């Protein structure tokens, strides 16, 4: 079975848990996800099956859209309500919610939550935290394309951001901008690249008879498509000569992607990944 499956991950389950359940349900050995979603978050989780697993390194449109809400009054060691409280503070409501949200837009250096899989010197930040090391200030470059209010009453919002952006950090930093302590109250991922929550299946509804697979071409459409003959050269991984301005091409056989080739010199391209 080859293709892309979009799952609406429930809360209380890790991304790895979802993969394990689907592996058994679908009797599929080659299966993986394109990026973890926190256990306490819900929403879009992209699953690759069969040949699609080989295309993971070529995923390009990995921007994400989330719905989230902010909890005022305290902060935690995980920057969400599921962590241990660090400090509490009287809530200050003297701010313009929409105006503060808009101040987050653009490119920025975002401080990474300690409870995260971000690696420093080969070790995850959460592993340092478990050892009692909590004073590491680690930053990552992100971009927030848009962030808009959903409701002022429960401080909920929707954010479109680059891959690697931590919504927990937005919720934590909201407190810093409004003379509050704060953390993230809820999180739902509603889009990853072109894959939306409307395209997702609930985990319990997936079976061999009911699976909704999307074609591999959906994650390769940004790479120039070329039908090439003799196709046996591609299956043998030979370098080929192609006249094109593109530096990377996807070669097809009977309208099916079979390999990714990279420019080596002039019009000579070499295979970087077979998809068969």
**What region does 188 belong to: left with phi over 0, alpha with psi -120 to 50, or beta?**
beta
Per the listing, tokens 């592996």 go with: 23
**Residues 85, 79: Cα–Cα separation, whole Å:** 9
**Residues 233, 186: Cα–Cα separation, whole Å:** 51
| Among 21, 41, 25, residue whose Cα is nearest residue 33 | 21
Active site residue 38: yes
- Taking a C-beta distance cutoff of 8 angstroms, is the pair 267, 274 a contact? no
The DSSP bridge partners found for residue 233 are: none
What's the first-to-final CA gap in the chain, in angstroms? Answer: 12
**Residues 13, 33: Cα–Cα separation, whole Å:** 14
**Residues 22, 240: Cα–Cα separation, whole Å:** 38
Catalytic residue among 38, 79, 80, 173, which? 38
Is 130 strand, coil or helix?
Answer: helix
Q: Which residues are catalytic?
A: 38
């Amino acid at each position: 079975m080859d293709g892309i499956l979009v799952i609406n991950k429930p809360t209380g389950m890790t991304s790895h848990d979802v993969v394990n359940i689907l592996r058994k349900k679908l009797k599929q050995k080659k299966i993986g996800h394109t990026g973890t979603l926190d256990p306490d978050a819900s929403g879009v989780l992209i699953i690759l099956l069969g040949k699609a697993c080989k295309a993971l390194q070529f995923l390009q449109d990995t921007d994400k859209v989330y719905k989230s809400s902010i909890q005022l009054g305290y902060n935690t060691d995980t920057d969400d309500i599921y962590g241990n409280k660090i400090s509490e503070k009287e809530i200050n409501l003297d701010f313009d919610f929409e105006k503060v949200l808009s101040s987050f837009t653009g490119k920025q250096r975002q401080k990474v939550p300690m409870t995260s899989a971000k690696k420093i010197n080969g070790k995850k930040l959460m592993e340092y935290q478990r050892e009692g090391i909590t004073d590491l200030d680690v930053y990552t470059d992100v971009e927030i394309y848009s962030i808009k209010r959903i409701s002022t009453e429960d401080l909920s919002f929707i954010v479109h951001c680059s891959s690697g952006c931590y919504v927990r950090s937005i919720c934590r930093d909201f407190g810093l901008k409004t003379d509050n302590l704060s953390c993230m109250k809820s999180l739902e991922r509603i889009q990853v690249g072109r894959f939306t929550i409307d395209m997702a299946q609930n985990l319990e509804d997936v079976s061999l008879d009911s699976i909704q697979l999307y074609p591999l071409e959906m994650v390769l459409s940004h790479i120039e498509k070329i039908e090439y003959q003799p196709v046996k050269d591609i299956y043998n991984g030979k370098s080929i000569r192609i006249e094109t301005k593109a530096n990377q091409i996807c070669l097809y056989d009977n309208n099916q992607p079979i390999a990714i080739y990279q420019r080596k010199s002039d019009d000579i391209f070499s295979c970087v990944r077979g998809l068969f």
